[in-house]
Structure 1
């Protein structure tokens, strides 16, 4: 009886080897990927040194520009507008640079409780 249980245990233990083989293949692939990544990393340029970093201009930080802009006109002659004919911004500085204001007596938003601009 004792040898029969050993035979059964030995027969069941042989199913571990395919999984161990697959595990070894996965480990080998991971090690290979690590070395390949290190090789690719060596070919990349080095990170910039402190003296190569961008510097603040002598005049100080650049401030925000507040301006009213209006959209560029679309051609109405039926000609197709191709990408190389587009303006980089899609808008231009407006001729009227006065800021729009709320109507006097207007509430400014819906439901704010004011009388509104009637």
Structure 2
């Protein structure tokens, strides 16, 4: 019968755990407020970015062509990706937008009905 009786030690242990959890939560709020106050202040309205004097920047549409991949001579070893430079682009002379071929779905093996 003595072992089945409630022990005050168990309730004391739960109380200590609850106080520890509250201390951790309080400490995290305290640390968060210290970090927030150490950050620079928010920019004032006059410090916000402004539009340029000529107004908003507008979209420019142009077709671009990439540079050709360098070719190696017959019998030479192939170039590795590290030997290739950054592939730059240049404006295209053609003003026509590239389109998918008629009847093609535009994807690789999409199997759809394609352009109608």
Fold conserved between structures, TM > 0.5: yes
Tell me, what secondary structure is at the counterpart of 1:93? strand
**1:64 equivalenced with 2:66 (yes/no):** no
Alignment length (residue pairs): 102
TM-score after normalising by structure 1: 0.61
Moved over 2 A (4+): 70-82, 100-103, 106-114
The Cα RMSD (Å) is 3.6
* 1:65–1:35 distance in 2 versus 1, CA, 3 Å: same
Structure 1 gaps of 5+ residues are: none
TM-score after normalising by structure 2: 0.62
Q: Specify the structure having the higher radius of gyration (Cα).
A: 1
Structure 2 gaps of 5+ residues are: 73-78, 106-111
- For 1:93, the equivalent position in structure 2 comes to 90
Q: Check conservation: 1:67, 1:97, Cα contact below 8 A.
A: no
- For 2:38, the equivalent position in structure 1 comes to 43
